[in-house]
Amino acid sequence: MIHTHSHDVWELYLQLAGPPTQWTVAGRTWHVPSRGLLGVPPGAPHAMAASSTAPYHFYFAALAPADIVPADDLHPLWRQRQPFVISDAGSMVTPFELFLREVTTHQPLRTAGLTYTAALLVTEASRLADGRQPGRDLAMHPAVSAAKRLIENRLAEGLTTDDLAAAVHLSPAHLAELFRTETGETPARHRTRLRMERARLLLAETDLPITTLAIDLGYSSSQHFATAFRREIGTTPSRYRRKVTNPRDPSDLGAVCNINGSVP
Name the average pLDDT for the chain. 83
**Residues linked to residue 37 through DSSP beta bridges, in sequence order:** 14, 86
**Residues linked to residue 5 through DSSP beta bridges, in sequence order:** 46
**Nearest 5 degrees, angle CA 40-CA 101-CA 215?**
80
Confidence of residue 132 (pLDDT cuts 50, 70, 90): low
Check: CB of residue 71 under 8 Å from CB of residue 63: no
Q: Is residue 1 part of a domain?
A: no
Averaged pLDDT for residues 34-52: 86
Instruction: Mark whether 166 and 211 lie in a shared domain.
Output: no
Lowest average pLDDT, out of 19-23, 49-53, 225-229, goes to 49-53
The boundaries of the domain holding residue 208 are: 194-245
Confidence of residue 150 (pLDDT cuts 50, 70, 90): confident
More confident site: 18 or 125: 125
Task: Answer whether residue 139 shows pLDDT above 80.
Answer: no
Nearest to 58 by CA among 39, 75, 78, 77: 39
Cβ of 251: how many Cβ atoms within 10 Å? 6
DSSP state of 11: E
Q: Is residue 31 part of a domain?
A: yes
What pLDDT, on a 0 to 100 scale, did the predictor assign at position 121? Answer: 93
Q: Is residue 261 part of a domain?
A: no
Instruction: Mark whether 121 and 22 lie in a shared domain.
Output: yes
Task: Answer whether residue 133 shows pLDDT above 90.
Answer: no
Nearest to 237 by CA among 253, 218, 248: 253
Q: Which of 27-36, 49-58, 100-109, 249-258 has the highest mean pLDDT?
A: 27-36
Instruction: Mark whether 178 and 82 lie in a shared domain.
Output: no
What pLDDT, on a 0 to 100 scale, did the predictor assign at position 53? Answer: 65
More confident site: 37 or 137: 37
pLDDT in tens, 103-114: 877 778 888 889
DSSP codes, 13-82: EEEEESS-EEEEETTEEEEE-TT-EEEE-TT--EEE----SS--EEEEEEE-HHHHS-GGG--HHHHHT-
What pLDDT, on a 0 to 100 scale, did the predictor assign at position 256? Answer: 30
What pLDDT, on a 0 to 100 scale, did the predictor assign at position 34? Answer: 81
Instruction: Mark whether 115 and 25 lie in a shared domain.
Output: yes
Rounded to a whole number of angstroms, the CA Rg of the chain reads 19
Q: Is residue 3 part of a domain?
A: no
Q: Is residue 260 part of a domain?
A: no
pTM, 2 dp? 0.60
DSSP codes, 229-254: HHHHHSS-HHHHHHHHH-TT-TT---
What pLDDT, on a 0 to 100 scale, did the predictor assign at position 253? Answer: 30
Q: Is residue 86 part of a domain?
A: yes
pLDDT in tens, 158-175: 899 999 999 999 999 999
Instruction: Mark whether 169 and 203 lie in a shared domain.
Output: no
Instruction: Mark whether 207 and 156 lie in a shared domain.
Output: no
Counting the structural domains of the chain, the total is 3
Averaged pLDDT for residues 70-81: 88
What pLDDT, on a 0 to 100 scale, did the predictor assign at position 98? Answer: 86
DSSP state of 219: -
Instruction: Mark whether 198 and 180 lie in a shared domain.
Output: no
CA distance 166 to 187: 14
Residues in the chain, total: 264
Instruction: Mark whether 221 and 122 lie in a shared domain.
Output: no
Q: Is residue 134 part of a domain?
A: no
pLDDT in tens, 225-253: 999 999 999 999 999 988 887 755 444 33
Instruction: Mark whether 103 and 178 lie in a shared domain.
Output: no
CA distance 217 to 152: 11
pLDDT in tens, 196-232: 988 888 888 778 889 988 988 889 899 999 999 999 9
Q: Is residue 146 part of a domain?
A: yes
Instruction: Mark whether 116 and 147 lie in a shared domain.
Output: no
Task: Answer whether residue 261 shows pLDDT above 60.
Answer: no
More confident site: 205 or 191: 191
Task: Answer whether residue 262 shows pLDDT above 50.
Answer: no
Instruction: Mark whether 117 and 88 lie in a shared domain.
Output: yes
